[in-house]
Structure 1
Amino acid sequence: MISENQSEDGSTLVTERRCVIDIDAPRLLKRIAGVDYLYFIQKNTLSRSERTLRIEVHNETFSNRVMVRECCSYTVHPENEDWTCFEQTASLDIKSFFGFESMAEKIAMKQYASSINKGKEIIEYYLRELEKEGVTYIPRWTPPVVSGTAGSWLQVQPLSTARPIPVNGAKDLSDMQYVLHLFWPVDKLDADYIRRYLGDLTPLQESCLIRLRQWLQETHKGKIPKDQHVLRFLRAGDFNLDKAREFLCQSLTWRKQHQVDFLLDTWERPQLLQDYYAAGWHQHDRDGRPLYILRLGQMDTKGLVRALGEEVLLKQVLSINEEGLRRCEDNTRVFGRPISCWTCLVDLEGLNMRHLWRPGIKTLLRIIEVVEANYPETLGRLLILRAPRVFPVLWTLVSPLIDENTRKKFLVYAGNDYQGPGGLVDYIDKEVIPDFLGGDCMCDISEGGMVPKSLYRTAEELESEENHLLTDSIYKSASIFKGAPYEMLIEITEASSVITWDFDVCKGDVIFNIYHSKRAPQPAKKDTLGAHGITSLGAVNAQMIDRSWVLGQDYSGVEKAFICREGESVQGSHITRWPGFYILQWRFHSSPACTASSLPRMDDVLASLQVSSHKCKIMFYTEVLASHDFRGSMTSLESCHSGFSQLSAATTSSHSSSISR
């Protein structure tokens, strides 16, 4: 014992010791170092008022060569005062050690790992010894009574006067017992209220809810959310109080800025949404959760974006979520148990590559981001039915923005797999299944359909919003001349990667095709073209396919060529079979004489530049989904309880793709 100091009121005790330890080190190393034992200094600080114990250790032997520092702290758990938090940290800094620095480091780490296990055993051993002596509770320390004060309280004997337990001269093990057994009444919610409206909560979860609610009452100006809504953010943050508080504050600010609290009372759905938005609420599932049905495959997502814009569709989704919260409250009252989330059923029959129109995908991603941030833990289950083979491409694009906990709630069924055991009837009563899914219940939901182009927004509206937000950011434009196709080169290093494309034909008719070559194409050089006397090359497209190449020998077609008419929008994908170089080609379409294998002559190029009618224009966007991302999405789906494995096999083994226009 080096020193022992206690504050006047007995609230703080500081003890300092010099200790010795026999290190489990090779004898040769001990002889070189000239020591058999190591000495270190230990400082214990017990604060009875703050209810903490801090143990700090550093080595005295070889301190000029090696510095070891360790700290152990015992504190009261911030959410449950019946629990003790234990934290242990250590650092090792070896400056020099007779050329055995690496060995000394390994020995130190081994010793430290061993001491961690021994420390736990020692604590448990002496706790059992205390219990044998009948010491299971020590009253909390209180300050000494000050004479002459009114209303004095009962004085409790300071812990330091209690009989110490001799453990190699230590006097503070009973102090450790004092820290490990702390009892303090905590504010509690009414048990009936929890059971009726919130569900099962552990003491820690209940404490987090109380503290976050109190913090909101003290600091937040405005409408305080209900306990059920606060609890959603806590669950989303795994009951990390700081994390939940940050996300909840951001969401409350967002709700105030956008007046979301008044959305259901003030927003009127446009008639176009009522006619073509194929979705709506329908009864409830077996657990009493409100059931929302979305017939995504029947919706013209491109037409809705073109006609309504992103903001209107976002408002529609927000109103759905607000309505879902209200229905959860209603069902809680009806069923007499907590219902905090809903079930969503998505029917994908009719889904095709048109749904992968990139502005529509971008709108969807933004909506997902807003919903994930402001409506956490509101989706109890997502049932995806009749998923076609194009679904994995869509899933790969949107899944990165979906929280992992939310993804675990997805159940995906391909074809008619949902009709068998483990299908839809496990989650929805048979009499509630809609008629279009083979049930007997009539479902009052719009059937969707194609939005007439006459309802699209005007060119001025599109230019001010769509062109700025969507087209300029992700689309490129290209001109196609008669005899001078536009070609784009994509290098694929890994088979089973997915090439996706999305283009609009703004002027003229074009023929679209995809070729594959094992060797890299060499575009024609400018000086080569210059030899033919062309003065301006700005309008000439660089040719990827060499004129000397033979179709079927030097390169091959991997997709069937098809004609795209003016005004059409085309989306598609291709799962690559081999690595190499893929060429996306758009050619001018004029007469049947123009075949997929024909190559332009320079005379044709010169002629086409002089005839404005022999010009097409497209706006296009391409993207390559890496094999590991695509297959990773498939693995994520297959890990769910679903019937998607058949679809996975069919999709990833196929190397052709259907193209919808």
Structure 2
Amino acid sequence: MRLEASLQRGAGLLLCLAPPFFFSNTSEAPVLLLLSLAESSFRASCLLFSSVRSSVPTSLSLSLTLSHSLSLSLCRRLTARGKRATSLPAPPSSPTNEHHCRGPDTRPPRPPGPARSSDSEAELRLHPAAADMSGRVGDLSPKQAEALEQFRERIQDILPLLPAQHDHFLLRWLRARNFHIPKSEAMLRKHLEFRKRIKVDEILTDWRPPEVIEKYLSGGMCGYDREGSPIWYDIIGPVDPKGLFLSASKQDFIKSKIQDCEALQKECNLQSQRLDRNVEAITMIYDVEGLGLKHLWKPAIETYGEILQMFEENYPEGLKRLFVIKAPKLFPVAYNLVKHFLSENTRQKIYILGANWQEVLMKYIDAEELPVMYGGKLTDPDGDPRCRTKIHHVGPVPPSYYVRDHVKVDYEQCMTVSRGSSQQVDYEILFPGCVLRWQFSTESADIGFGVFLKAKKGEWKKASQMHEVVLSQRYNSHLVPEDGSLTCEQPGVYVLRFDNTYSIFQAKRISFSVEVLLPDRLQSPQANGGVKSHERAACDSQS
């Protein structure tokens, strides 16, 4: 039993570590994966060796001893290789790295050197780390400089149409694709199509967002970091996602973010002129105080994912670093929902700051450029410490802005609940801290809905025999689709119960979607994210 438990712990460790490395192309990934295997093997061999050493033949004991020694040796050697850590780059005013802030657990290690490729591709693909150069103007290896010239030659037909033609701009597209020239070219040509389709060149002068977006979408540009880069603030807690989506279109949201990107790019260009050196990337401060389940609403997450993808495809290398401050316990779940939209390079620029976040920010931003509410000295002309003339601080969207009753949802499943009966959908939650999220609508009448918890899977129980965690009540989901979520504080089988026991004449047709959102550290490549689900019908009118 102890051996089995040890192996299970080893498998659990691999389950937690696998995802970020399986989806990255880093050379450290197999090292850390082997480290996990070695640790599990070592623990198992210790238990097995100690339990059977006295009762097995000499030959088998010798084999176990050898296995134990090899496991220990491998574990020690891999531990030595795996101790490299990525830390926040030193601020301009400090020669040492800041160890109090760190990125998300799944942030990939530094990029590796180039993989071996065929001779036909060797001239077209080059990873900047091959020569340990940054890939920026003044810090190019001979091969990188050659790649830049080849890239410029291949895009001569579109060069006059680009927002900029200098080397700084072209190198951003090369770095975004690891100096793979055909991929960089395809990315840049696609960007030109994007600019033409959206009319990006006119978006700052000829387009204005709907009033509700201007008033109730938080954030803004305020101040500069120590290197002269503009600082953008996103304040998540007060945002009302559902109110915004009931009041404006998804296209308006995306277009407003494109407008923000263009404004920031324009400010970078102005800073380059003021400082007489290239400024091409921004610093972001992501204030997630108050992040809650309302922000995990599926339509909002999907749109935010589209916006992140738009950033990656059309504004490469535009982010210098992103500081996440005041992160609540729910943040790993939220990050897990959107991280797959981010490139490996972007993930490396995300840093989660702890309780000393003000101290860290001050190392990268002068006090005169940092608002008082974030530990600096900057205020509005009227003394407002929040700098509201530059950073929008918002609240709930008034219903008077609503232009629709609900947001259209594409559901994943349908079922019929017979008259006088109920249906149960069971989800076995394996880890505490997971979020259970649901959406449903009915075709012609209301339906009862509640969430219950039971200890064992595979057994049907009446509602009265289970612990009620979300109060059962009737919803007019035929008029307005219903959605909700629950943070699962303990493992167990959570039962979503659709109740039609009160209707003796009419069956109910339900369309629904259910998701289990895992904290980032627990994401698994398995189906359903390591969550087992199954459905049960309950025809007992007393269920």
Q: Same fold (TM over 0.5)?
A: yes
Aligned-partner residue type, residue 585 of structure 1: R
Query: Per the alignment, do residues 265 and 386 of structure 1 end up closer, same or farther by CA in structure 2, a change over 3 Å counting?
Result: same
**1:631 aligns to 2:522 (yes or no):** yes
Aligned-partner residue type, residue 572 of structure 1: S
Q: Report if aligned partners of 2:124, 2:182 keep a CA contact under 8 Å in 1.
A: no
Provide the C-alpha distance between the structure 1 equivalents of 2:120 and 2:250, rounded to a whole number of angstroms: 51
**1:411 aligns to 2:351 (yes or no):** yes
Query: Per the alignment, do residues 78 and 511 of structure 1 end up closer, same or farther by CA in structure 2, a change over 3 Å counting?
Result: closer
**1:608 aligns to 2:542 (yes or no):** no
Aligned-partner residue type, residue 307 of structure 2: I
Equivalent residue number for residue 454 of structure 2: 516
Provide the C-alpha distance between the structure 2 equivalents of 1:413 and 1:574, rounded to a whole number of angstroms: 24
Equivalent residue number for residue 179 of structure 2: 239
Q: Report if aligned partners of 1:384, 1:412 keep a CA contact under 8 Å in 2.
A: yes
Equivalent residue number for residue 514 of structure 2: 622
Provide the C-alpha distance between the structure 1 equivalents of 2:356 and 2:415, rounded to a whole number of angstroms: 43
Q: Report if aligned partners of 1:505, 1:619 keep a CA contact under 8 Å in 2.
A: yes
Equivalent residues in 2 for 1:236-635, closer than 5 Å: 236-414=176-354, 416-420=355-359, 423-442=360-379, 443=387, 444=389, 445-458=391-404, 466-467=407-408, 471-474=409-412, 484-492=421-429, 494-496=430-432, 498-503=434-439, 512-522=450-460, 545-546=461-462, 551=465, 555-557=466-468, 559=469, 561=471, 570-575=483-488, 577-578=490-491, 581-587=493-499, 605=501, 608-610=503-505, 620-625=512-517, 630-632=521-523
Secondary structure of the residue aligned to 1:344 is: strand
Provide the C-alpha distance between the structure 2 equivalents of 1:75 and 1:223, rounded to a whole number of angstroms: 29
Equivalent residues in 2 for 1:139-150, closer than 5 Å: none
Residue ranges of structure 1 left out of the alignment (5+ in a row): 1-72, 86-193, 523-544, 589-604, 634-661
Query: Per the alignment, do residues 571 and 417 of structure 1 end up closer, same or farther by CA in structure 2, a change over 3 Å counting?
Result: farther
Match for residue 217 of structure 1 among 141, 148, 156 = 156
Task: Report which of the two has the higher share of helix.
Answer: 2
Query: Per the alignment, do residues 348 and 512 of structure 1 end up closer, same or farther by CA in structure 2, a change over 3 Å counting?
Result: same
Shift of 1:335: 1.9
Provide the C-alpha distance between the structure 1 equivalents of 2:150 and 2:181, rounded to a whole number of angstroms: 8
Q: Report if aligned partners of 2:265, 2:280 keep a CA contact under 8 Å in 1.
A: yes
Query: Per the alignment, do residues 510 and 436 of structure 1 end up closer, same or farther by CA in structure 2, a change over 3 Å counting?
Result: farther
Shift of 1:323: 1.2
Secondary structure of the residue aligned to 1:521 is: coil
Query: Per the alignment, do residues 334 and 219 of structure 1 end up closer, same or farther by CA in structure 2, a change over 3 Å counting?
Result: closer
TM-score, reference length from structure 2: 0.62
Q: Report if aligned partners of 1:292, 1:342 keep a CA contact under 8 Å in 2.
A: yes
Number of residue pairs the alignment of both structures matches: 385
Equivalent residue number for residue 92 of structure 2: none
Provide the C-alpha distance between the structure 2 equivalents of 1:616 and 1:345, rounded to a whole number of angstroms: 47
Shift of 1:232: 0.9
Q: Which has the higher contact order (CA 8 A, sep 6+)?
A: 2
Shift of 1:330: 0.9
Q: Report if aligned partners of 1:505, 1:564 keep a CA contact under 8 Å in 2.
A: no
Secondary structure of the residue aligned to 1:514 is: strand
Aligned-partner residue type, residue 327 of structure 1: E
Query: Per the alignment, do residues 74 and 369 of structure 1 end up closer, same or farther by CA in structure 2, a change over 3 Å counting?
Result: closer
Shift of 1:287: 1.6
Query: Per the alignment, do residues 265 and 288 of structure 1 end up closer, same or farther by CA in structure 2, a change over 3 Å counting?
Result: same
Provide the C-alpha distance between the structure 1 equivalents of 2:239 and 2:209, rounded to a whole number of angstroms: 17
Provide the C-alpha distance between the structure 2 equivalents of 1:618 and 1:352, rounded to a whole number of angstroms: 27
Structure of higher CA gyration radius: 1
CA RMSD of aligned residues (A): 3.8
Query: Per the alignment, do residues 284 and 453 of structure 1 end up closer, same or farther by CA in structure 2, a change over 3 Å counting?
Result: same
Q: Report if aligned partners of 1:476, 1:620 keep a CA contact under 8 Å in 2.
A: yes
Provide the C-alpha distance between the structure 1 equivalents of 2:439 and 2:222, rounded to a whole number of angstroms: 37
Shift of 1:360: 0.7
CA deviation digits over 1:188-235, x for unaligned, max 9? xxxxxx99x945333333332222122211466844743333211111
Query: Per the alignment, do residues 344 and 474 of structure 1 end up closer, same or farther by CA in structure 2, a change over 3 Å counting?
Result: farther
TM-score, reference length from structure 1: 0.52
Query: Per the alignment, do residues 519 and 631 of structure 1 end up closer, same or farther by CA in structure 2, a change over 3 Å counting?
Result: closer
Provide the C-alpha distance between the structure 1 equivalents of 2:435 and 2:313, rounded to a whole number of angstroms: 31
Aligned-partner residue type, residue 609 of structure 1: I
Shift of 1:515: 1.3
Equivalent residue number for residue 146 of structure 2: 207
Q: Report if aligned partners of 1:343, 1:382 keep a CA contact under 8 Å in 2.
A: yes
Query: Per the alignment, do residues 475 and 428 of structure 1 end up closer, same or farther by CA in structure 2, a change over 3 Å counting?
Result: farther
Provide the C-alpha distance between the structure 2 equivalents of 1:490 and 1:630, rounded to a whole number of angstroms: 20
